[in-house]
Amino acid sequence: MSRAVTVARPGQSRAKVAWSVLAWLVALVFFFPVLWMMLEALKTESQAASIPPTIAFIPTLAQFQEVLSRDFPPFFINSAIATIGSTLLVLLLGLPAAYALSIRPVAQARDVLFFFISTRFLPFAASLVPLYLLARDLQLLDNVFALILIYTTINLPLGVWLLRSFLLELPNELFEAARVDGAGFWRELISIVLPLITPGLAATSLICLIFAWNEFFYAVNFTSSIAATSPIFLVGFISGRGLFYAKLAAAATLASLPVLLAGWVAQKQLIRGLTMGAVK
């Protein structure tokens, strides 16, 4: 009987192989642009611009050298401050909000949820002028603090919704038991909720990090030299009068490394977080 369970039938085995091949193909399709970007970064400008593309070449780090000679660290640091600052704020504000919309639902919780997500209905461009004038009058132009606030407002609705979906997964009995033992809101949050939704927090953080790190529209409009972020540094290589593909690829490789590393480090938590709620 047990043998019948463990030995796969030929049809099942073929299906498994087919699914694996498909999974790898899809993974390669997604990874190919990243791989191509990295390869382009190791070419000379004329190799990177050649048609048909140069496949065999001697790798050079000259483009990275050129990119780093353009004072990359300040852009990187600004990106890190804006990204980490806004993500921390999203978690700090989003977790209690998600708690109040799931574990102990406030009155009209569904309306509140809809209100949160409705703020994303407004096109970014529509909010640009009022926000820009506000930032100008508050002396916040070219200030990374403005970016922290903007990225927090952009990511907060998403954070609340994500965190709420993770909180809904926690069994109610757990909270009832804790309350019987006399646990209050903060005790529940810190001793019960946080440890249980760590994967969800990791997933939410990473999504917020990616959005904030890659954000260009507000960064280009609200900063100039002091608070400019990595995407601003990146587009500076798009030259109107010359070849730039290799340099741009090198700059893009450097700019995307932190997000790639963050994803790689947190991949276990991320997979658990992203699949939370997927299987009942």
Partner 1 sequence: MARESSRSQRRARGVSLPPPRRLLSLLAILLAVVACSPGAGGGTGGSTQTITVAAVSNPQMEDLQKLVPDFQKANPNIQVKIVILPENQLRQQVTQDVATKSGRYDLFTIGTYEVPIWAKNGWIDNLAPYIQKSSSYAADDLIPGVAKALTYKSNLYALPFYGESSMLMYRKDMLSAAGVTLSQKPTWDEVAAAARKVNDPSKGVSGICLRGLPGWGEQLAPLDTVVNTYGGKWFDQQWVPQLTAPPFKAAVGFYVDLIKTAGEPGAASAGFTECLTAYNGGKVAMWYDATVGASNFTGTAADNSGYAFAPTKVKPYSGWLWAWSLGMPSTSKKKDAAGTFATWATSKDYIQLVGKNLGWSHVPPGTRTSTYALPEYQKVAGGFAQITLDSIANADVNHPTVDPVPYIGVQYVGITEFQQLGDQVSQQIAAVITGQSSLDDALQRSNQLAEAVGKAHR
Q: Least distance (Å) from partner 1 to the CB of residue 210?
A: 21
Residue 64 as a binder of partner 1 (CB under 8 A): the answer is no
Nearer to partner 1, 197 or 228 (CB): 228
Residue 241 as a binder of partner 1 (CB under 8 A): the answer is yes
- Calculate the alpha carbon distances from 47 to 42, 51, 54 in Å: 10, 9, 6
Which residue's entry shows tokens 């798009």?
Answer: 238
- Calculate the alpha carbon distances from 132 to 41, 107, 143 in Å: 35, 35, 12
Whether the upstream peptide bond of residue 52 has omega within 30° of 0, thus cis, is: yes
Nearer to partner 1, 205 or 276 (CB): 205
Among 184, 264, 278, 279, indicate the residue that binds partner 1 (CB under 8 A): 184
Among 199, 237, 273, 276, indicate the residue that binds partner 1 (CB under 8 A): 237
User: DSSP readout, 64-103?
Assistant: HHHHHTTT-HHHHHHHHHHHHHHHHHHHHHHHHHHHHTTT
Q: Among residue numbers 18 through 57, which ones bind partner 1 (CB under 8 A)?
A: 45-46, 49-51
Among 8, 18, 243, 271, indicate the residue that binds partner 1 (CB under 8 A): 243
Among 57, 72, 76, 132, indicate the residue that binds partner 1 (CB under 8 A): 132
Structure tokens at 206: 């990473």
Tell me the Cα Rg of the chain. Answer: 24
Residue 101 as a binder of partner 1 (CB under 8 A): the answer is no
Which residue's entry shows tokens 């699949």?
Answer: 275
Measured at the CA of 26, the angle between CA 21 and CA 28, to 5 degrees, comes to 95
Residue 117 as a binder of partner 1 (CB under 8 A): the answer is no
Asked whether the beta carbons of 228 and 78 are under 8 A apart, the reply is: yes
Q: Which stretch binds partner 1 (CB under 8 A): 107-115, 141-149, 198-206, 254-262?
A: 141-149
> Chain centroid to CA 145: how far?
19
Among 28, 190, 257, 260, indicate the residue that binds partner 1 (CB under 8 A): 190
Q: Which stretch binds partner 1 (CB under 8 A): 1-9, 23-31, 56-64, 85-93?
A: 85-93
Q: Least distance (Å) from partner 1 to the CB of residue 85?
A: 6
Long-range contacts of range 188-196, CB-CB < 8 Å, 24 or more positions apart? 188/103, 189/95, 189/96, 189/99, 193/95, 193/99, 193/103, 193/167, 196/170
Q: Least distance (Å) from partner 1 to the CB of residue 187?
A: 6
Residues making contact with partner 1 (CB under 8 A): 45-46, 49-51, 69-70, 74, 77-78, 81, 85, 88-89, 92, 132-133, 136, 140-145, 148, 182-188, 190, 220-221, 224-228, 232, 235-244
